[in-house]
Amino acid sequence: MSNTLTHLQRLEAEAIHILREVVAEAERPVMLYSVGKDSAVMLHLARKAFYPSPPPFPLLHVDTTWKFQEMYKLRDRMARESGMDLLVYQNPEAAARGINPFDHGALHTDMWKTEGLKQALEMYGFDAAFGGARRDEEKSRAKERIFSFRTASHGWDPKNQRPELWNLYNAKKHKGESIRVFPISNWTELDVWQYIQLNDVPIVPLYFAARRPTVVRDGMLLMVDDRRFPLQPGEAVVERSIRFRTLGCYPLTGAVESTAATLSEVIQETLLTTTSERQGRAIDKDAGGAGMEVKKQQGYF
């Protein structure tokens, strides 16, 4: 029958329902906006959920100061277009200590992202934060609820998750506790790409192949995005046709060599690839197989 909804229509309806439930039940919601493609889809869904009103919550960018320049540009543009407030938070302690991805390794993520996020949520008193994580990304995320509770110290207890039946979400919490909410939990990487294509969702141009200055380091193809990139002896900046499957801090995000310059070509490459998208992320490889689970227990998104 013609009125059978497609998988994308069902996923969209589910995400919009989740966004509205949080707005109806939380006191101070916020959307964590990382400027990546998943954030782009989540922001678009929020605009749909509350149209013709602008989404009734601000965007929060927990900035590490090491994102790609193109990301900062799109971030500011999308804040303008959506009519939402953009809050940018940089951990002052990390700034004072000059924490950077070249010299501090795992401490960089911990201070700028994990600690920065906790500080920002506490400073503004947000009790619900939307995130663009998907269950197909990583094995501990596959087991995380859509409404994921965090203690007052932001910890996640994987063994004590609230049962989540039907589409009934229990948003009740004690003072100081907060919820991380993942409206696109049930989307796959392909779903996200198709949705971007069908809805003309603006994304950072770095997802498309172009000639960019690169360095190969520790088996990763890194882009030299600004002058802060220190070259090691023997390294040379080489221009290559590259693109990114995932975006984070530029010194920690591996590119792939590619000529996919259109959305169709990007999707084509995604479908034919044989490695997972988070493969280019240094963060997942910490602490053995349970890297993400441990980070989440400490308060990482």
Partner 1 sequence: MTDTSVYQTEALIAEDIDAYLDKHQHKSMLRFITCGSVDDGKSTLIGRLLYDSKMIFEDQLAALETDSKKQGTQGQEIDFALLVDGLAAEREQGITIDVAYRFFGTEKRKFIVADCPGHEQYTRNMVTGASTADLAVILIDARKGVLTQTRRHSFLCHRIGIRHIVLAVNKMDLVGYDQSVFDRIVADYRAFADSIGITEFTALPISGFKGDNITALSANTPWFTGPALVEHLESVELDTTAAAAAPLRMPVQWVNRPNLDFRGFSGLIASGTVRPGDAVRVLPSGKTSTVTRIVTLDGDLDEAVAGQSVTLCFADEIDCSRGDVIAAADAPPEVADQFESTLVWLDDDALLVGRSYWLKLGTQTVSVTVAAPKYTINVNTMERLAAKTLDLNAIGVAEITTDKPLVFDAYTTNRTLGGFILIDKLSNRTVGAGMLHFSLRRAQNVHWQALDVTRAAHAALKHQQPAVLWFTGLSGSGKSTIANMVEKRLHALGHHTFLLDGDNVRHGLNKDLGFTESDRIENIRRVGEVAKLMTDAGLIVLTAFISPFAAERDMIRSMLPGGEFIEIFVDTPLEVAEARDVKGLYKKARSGSLKNFTGIDSPYEAPENPEIRVDTTRETPEEAATRIVDLITGNRNETWMPTI
Q: Interacting stretch for partner 1, rule CB under 8 A, among 11-19, 33-41, 207-215, 223-231?
A: 11-19
Binding string to partner 1 for residues 124 to 143, with x set by CB under 8 A, is what?
Answer: -----------xx-xxxxxx
- Give SS3 for 194: helix
Does the protein bind partner 1 through residue 152 (CB under 8 A)? no
Does the protein bind partner 1 through residue 12 (CB under 8 A)? yes
Q: Which of 30, 43, 49, 204 binds partner 1 (CB under 8 A)?
A: 49
Q: Interacting stretch for partner 1, rule CB under 8 A, among 29-37, 88-96, 224-232, 290-298?
A: 290-298
Does the protein bind partner 1 through residue 118 (CB under 8 A)? no
State in angstroms the smallest separation of the CB of 62 from partner 1. 25
Between CA 255 and CA 258 the distance in angstroms is: 9
Q: Nearest to residue 121, comparing CAs of 57, 72, 169, 50?
A: 57
Angle of helix 37-50 versus helix 69-82 axis, rounded to 10: 0
State in angstroms the smallest separation of the CB of 166 from partner 1. 5
Angle of helix 37-50 versus helix 189-199 axis, rounded to 10: 60
Q: If phi over 0 gives left and psi between -120 and 50 gives alpha, with beta otherwise, what is residue 292?
A: alpha
* Residue with Cβ nearer partner 1 (23 or 88): 23
Between CA 288 and CA 126 the distance in angstroms is: 32
Q: Which of 92, 155, 158, 230 binds partner 1 (CB under 8 A)?
A: 158
Distance of CA 33 to the CA centre of its chain: 7
State in angstroms the smallest separation of the CB of 271 from partner 1. 5
Does the protein bind partner 1 through residue 298 (CB under 8 A)? no
Q: Which of 38, 115, 127, 293 binds partner 1 (CB under 8 A)?
A: 293
Instruction: Give residues 169-208 in contact with partner 1 (rule: CB under 8 A).
Output: 170, 172-174, 185-186, 188, 190-191, 194, 197-198
* Residue with Cβ nearer partner 1 (58 or 213): 58
Does the protein bind partner 1 through residue 96 (CB under 8 A)? no
CA angle 137–294–287, rounded 5-degree value: 90
Q: List Cβ neighbours of 269 (8 Å cut-off, separation of 6 or more).
A: 258, 260
Q: Given the structure tokens 């990763």, which residue do they identify? A: 220
Does the protein bind partner 1 through residue 232 (CB under 8 A)? no
